[in-house]
Amino acid sequence: MSIFPRRLVHLAELTLADAREAKLKLVTAESCTGGLIAGLLTEIAGSSDVVERGFVVYSNEAKREMLDVPGDLIADFGAVSEPVARAMAEGALKNSRAHISVSVTGVAGPGGGTPMKPVGLVHFGAARQGRSILHEMQRFGDIGREEIRIKSIETALNLIRRMM
């Protein structure tokens, strides 16, 4: 029995199987999901041959220190932004031995939203060695912290799959 919804476990199993077949290692860089993407992937036995590491970078300082996200990027665009999501994905690749990275930064709520960056706004990045960085933005709406985080995990796994 998993703590994650069955549909997400199935998606994670497919993601791991595809990465394993392609001999690719994965790294996560997570802010608003707090390590749940890595947690889901490592919920599956045998995932250690694919999951290289995960970074939980909840604070701006952690984003700078662990992933080399430039401080001026955070100051200019905010932590919840396309440039920061891209820099997180790039930094995760650079600071790991993985081939594919995924990043997530957003406003999971219930507070913390603004008119420009409302609760439910989440930016994702994905990087692969030798390829351009992908970005995706989702506006899930104020559907509750748990549901925003669950939908973010699903989006991140699908983004990894697009990078394979």
Asked whether residue 87 is domain-assigned, the answer is yes
Asked whether residue 60 is domain-assigned, the answer is yes
Q: What is the pLDDT of residues 27-68, one digit of tens each?
A: 999 999 999 999 999 999 999 999 999 999 999 999 999 999
Residue 133 DSSP one-character state: P
Asked whether residue 18 is domain-assigned, the answer is yes
Report the candidate in 65, 42, 63, 64 with the shortest Cα–Cα distance to residue 53.
Answer: 42
Report the candidate in 2, 4, 53 with the shortest Cα–Cα distance to residue 25.
Answer: 53
> Domain count of the chain?
1
Residue in the structure block whose two tokens are 């995990």: 153
Task: Supply the pLDDT for residue 1.
Answer: 73
Which amino acid is it at 24? Answer: L
Task: Supply the pLDDT for residue 42.
Answer: 98
Tokens standing for residue 78: 């905010």
Alpha helices by DSSP H, the chain: 6-22, 36-42, 60-67, 71-77, 82-94, 145-163
Asked whether residue 120 is domain-assigned, the answer is yes
The CATH number that applies at residue 104 is: 3.90.950.20
Task: Supply the pLDDT for residue 2.
Answer: 84
By residue range, what is the domain housing residue 37?
6-163
Asked whether residue 1 is domain-assigned, the answer is no
Q: How far apart are CA 129 and CA 22, in angstroms?
A: 14
Tell me the pLDDT band of 164, cut-offs 50, 70 and 90: very high
Q: What is the pLDDT of residues 96-155, one digit of tens each?
A: 999 999 999 999 999 999 999 999 999 999 999 889 999 999 999 999 999 999 999 999
